[in-house]
Structure 1
Amino acid sequence: MGELRIHSVLVTGANRGIGLEFVQRFLGMPTPPKWVFAGCRDPKGQRAQELQNLASKHPNLVIVPLEVSNPASIKAAAATVEKHLGGSGLNLLINNAGILKINSLANETLENMTEIYTTNTIGPLLMGQAFLPLLKKAAQGSPGSALSCSKAAIVNISSIGGSITSQFAWDMIQIVSYRCSKAALNMLTKCQSLGYREHGILCVALHPGWVQTDMGNAAGHQPPVTVDASVQGMLKVLSSLSEKDTGTFLDWEGKVLPW
C-alpha cells in the first residue's frame, strides 16, 4: 500500500461527523497537506466550533463557506480555493456533504426527493464541474500518467443504501429519497470516471460503513462502525487506489460493493 501524499484536499460537509474526522486526519498526517480546505454551510456558526478551534492551531486549514445545493456558493468556493492554491492544483476532492430524511415509500414527497437529490447527487456533479480546472492542474503537475488519489481524484461518499442489488436494511429503514440519491450518485461517479479519465483524474464511490454519526443514528439503532474506524479505513483505501479502481464502488475496508 502506498502512502497518501497530497498537496491539497477539499472536504465538503466538514464541520461534523465523517467530514470533520477527515479534516483532523489530514492535519495529523506525518506529512500533512499544504492546504486542507474544509467546506461547511456556516463557518462562523456554533456547529462549526470544532473546525474554528482547529483552524486557530493549523495555518494550513482554511474553512470555506460552501452550500453544495447552491451553484453560486460552489462557484465562490472554487474561487477561494484557487486563490489560496496560488497557481497549483487541487489533488483531492471529497464530496462528503449529504442529507437524509426518514420517510416511508408511502409518504415520500416531491419536496423531500428534490431537496435530497439536490444535495446528495446534483451537489457532487456541480462540485466536480467547478473544481475540474484545479483537479486537471494537479494531474498535469504530477509525475507519471497512472491514476491515484495522490495525483488527482474525486471521492464521492456514497452508501450501500444506494445499492440496487443489496437492498441493505430495507426492513429497518426505507429512506427512499436517500437510497435513490445515492444510487444516482453511484452512476454519477461512473460517468465522472469515464469523462475525467483523459484528464488524469481518478473517481470512486465509497461507502463509509454504517457510522456512529447524527445521520447514522437517525434510524434509531446503534451503528456498528465508529467515525474514527470509518475514516481511518477510507484513508487506507484511498492510499491504495490505482488506475484499475476508477469508477468503482467500494466500502471503507476496500471491498467491492454491488451496484
Structure 2
Amino acid sequence: MTSSTANSSPRPREPGTVLVTGASRGLGRMLAKLYAGEGWRVLACARQEQPAAADCMLPYRLDVNDAASIETLGTMLEGTAIDIVINNAAVRGDTGGLASLRTDDFMEVMRINVLAPLLIAQALKPNLVAGRRKLLVNISSRAGSLAEGTLDDDDGDYAYRCSKAALNMATVKLAQDFRRDGVAVISLHPGWVRTDMGGPDAVVDIEQSARGLKNLIDTTTMADTGSFRAYDGKTISW
C-alpha cells in the first residue's frame, strides 16, 4: 500500500481508459464524448451497441438489468487496465407516490440503480487495480440524501429515492473495501439535468453538468474517497 501522502497527491491526468455505463444517450453519452474528445480510450457501454462516435470510443453491449450481461462484460475485459469506471446507467421508475408503488417496478429500479453498480464494481475491480487512476464513480442524486433530498423536492418517486440512498451507502462501503487497493470511490450528483429522465423543465444543461462532473472526476484523489459531491463542487449531505 502506498503512503497516505502519496494517496492524497494529484493523480495522473494523461489520457487513459474510462468505462461509462448508459453511454448511448443523455449524461452518459456526453461524458463519453468529453473523454473521447481529450483522447481517452472510452469503453462506451449500453443495452444497444452504438456506432463509435470517435476512433477512441469502443462500444460494448451491456444490460445492467442482467447480471449475466455484467459478468460477460467482466470476462470480455479480463486483463484490460481501466483507469476510471463511471456507473451512470439508471432509471427513474414510477413517480406517482405510495399509492402507485408496485413491486415489479420498485425491484427493477433497485436492480438497475443499486445492484448493477455493485456487480460492476465486483466484476471490474481487477481492471481498476491495474489502472493508473484507480477511480470508481457512482452517479447518484441529491434525491437520495436523507438530509437534503426532500428540502425543495416533493416528487413521489419512492423507488428512485430509495435506490439512490442505497447507492450512496454502497459508495461508502466500496470506499472502505477498495481503499486497501488504492482505488477511490465517490458519489456524484449531476443536478437536475435536461435529459430524457430529467425532462424539459430541468434547470441544468447537460454539457454544463457533464463538464462539472468530469472536472471533479479528473481531480479526485484518495483524500476524496467516500465523498458525495454535486457537479458544481458542493458537498452533499448524506
Q: Common fold, TM-score beyond 0.5? A: yes
- Deviations along 1:188-234, whole A, 9 cap, x unmatched? 000000000101100000000100000001xxx61110110000001
Report the AA paired with residue 153 of structure 2: W
Superposed, 1:76-115 pairs within 5 Å as: 76-82=72-78, 87-101=79-93, 102-115=95-108
Residue equivalent to 2:5: none
1:18 aligned onto 2:27 = yes
Distance in structure 2 (CA, Å) of the matches to 1:165 and 1:215: 23
1:192 aligned onto 2:184 = no
Aligned 8 A contact 1:6 1:91 in 2: no
Aligned 8 A contact 2:20 2:43 in 1: yes
Q: Detail structure 1 runs of 4+ shifted over 4 Å in the superposition.
A: none
Change (3 A) 1:196 1:134: same
Distance in structure 1 (CA, Å) of the matches to 2:168 and 2:87: 12
1:39 aligned onto 2:22 = no
Q: CA deviation at 1:71?
A: 1.3
Distance in structure 2 (CA, Å) of the matches to 1:106 and 1:88: 47
| Structure 1 spans left out of the alignment, 5+ residues | 143-150
Report the AA paired with residue 92 of structure 2: L
Q: CA deviation at 1:103?
A: 2.4
Superposed, 1:95-244 pairs within 5 Å as: 95-101=87-93, 102-138=95-131, 142=132, 151-166=133-148, 167-171=150-154, 173-217=155-199, 222-244=201-223
Distance in structure 2 (CA, Å) of the matches to 1:252 and 1:100: 19
Aligned 8 A contact 1:94 1:154 in 2: yes
Identical-residue share of aligned pairs (%):
33
Distance in structure 1 (CA, Å) of the matches to 2:74 and 2:88: 16
1:23 is paired with a residue whose SS is: helix
TM-score with structure 1 setting the length: 0.83
Over aligned residue pairs, what C-alpha RMSD do you find? 1.6
Aligned 8 A contact 1:204 1:248 in 2: yes
1:7 aligned onto 2:13 = no
Q: CA deviation at 1:2?
A: 7.2
Change (3 A) 1:252 1:225: same
Q: CA deviation at 1:88?
A: 4.6
Aligned 8 A contact 1:37 1:81 in 2: no
TM-score with structure 2 setting the length: 0.91
Q: CA deviation at 1:165?
A: 0.7
